[in-house]
């Protein structure tokens, strides 16, 4: 069976159901004339299977139409861009201990007034911190610069399952720097589609 779009598939299924229903009624679906009672469709087993198939197609049509309807509703519900008001920003409680950039973004995303608002991504904040010279990006690693270290961005090593891993943590002052530059971060966030 060739791939078809959902609307075409629904139309084809409706046509098939109409043909099957006419056969069950003893009518030739092509010319509309009665079918001879000697034909196989009058066999009890055949007519029962045709009725079953008609009901199955009806349910499939309903399912496909429901999926199409919800897909259209989802398309209408486009996400709005991330933005917090001054009142929402006042609710932020900075962490006294250093936390990751992902934790900062999660804290900000928690303040979103609606689930229909796009989430703030850490990669957007990384680009702004890099532009301000607070961090360098070396391959996939983030390394605090002297200026970033002075602000409280620190590179920390820790052990996990016998391996030495690294993490970049942000002091309370560095967290505030991210919040102070939220406007720039949200502008970059608009261009990021994950």
The pLDDT tens digits for 132-162 are: 999 998 887 889 999 999 999 998 888 878 8
Cα 77–Cα 73–Cα 121 angle in degrees, nearest 5 = 30
Cα separation, 187 vs 194, whole angstroms: 15
Q: What is the DSSP string of 79-90?
A: PBPP---HHHHH
pTM above 0.75, yes or no: no
Residues 96-114: pLDDT tens digits?
999 999 999 999 998 888 8
Which residue stretches of 77-158 are H helix? Answer: 86-90, 101-110, 122-131, 146-151
> Which strand (E) or helix (H) includes residue 135?
strand 135-138
Cα separation, 135 vs 84, whole angstroms: 25
Cα 72–Cα 75–Cα 78 angle in degrees, nearest 5 = 155
Sequence spans of domains, the chain: 6-76, 86-191
């Amino acid at each position: 069976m060739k791939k078809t779009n959902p609307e075409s598939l629904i139309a084809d299924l409706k046509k098939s159901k109409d043909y099957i229903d006419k056969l069950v009624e003893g009518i030739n679906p092509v010319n509309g004339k009665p079918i001879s009672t000697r034909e196989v469709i009058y066999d009890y087993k055949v007519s029962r299977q045709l009725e079953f198939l008609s009901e199955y197609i009806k349910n499939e049509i309903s399912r496909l139409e429901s999926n199409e309807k919800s897909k259209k509703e989802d398309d209408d519900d486009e996400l709005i861009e991330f933005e917090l008001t001054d009142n929402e920003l006042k609710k932020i409680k900075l962490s006294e201990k250093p936390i990751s950039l992902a934790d900062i973004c999660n804290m900000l995303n928690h303040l979103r007034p609606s689930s229909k608002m796009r989430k703030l991504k850490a990669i957007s904040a990384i680009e702004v911190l890099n532009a301000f010279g607070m961090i360098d990006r070396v391959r996939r690693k983030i390394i605090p610069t002297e200026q970033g270290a002075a602000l409280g961005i620190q590179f920390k090593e820790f052990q996990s399952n016998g391996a030495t891993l690294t993490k970049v943590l942000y002091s309370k002052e560095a967290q505030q720097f991210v919040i102070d530059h939220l406007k720039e971060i949200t502008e970059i966030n608009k261009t990021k589609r994950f």
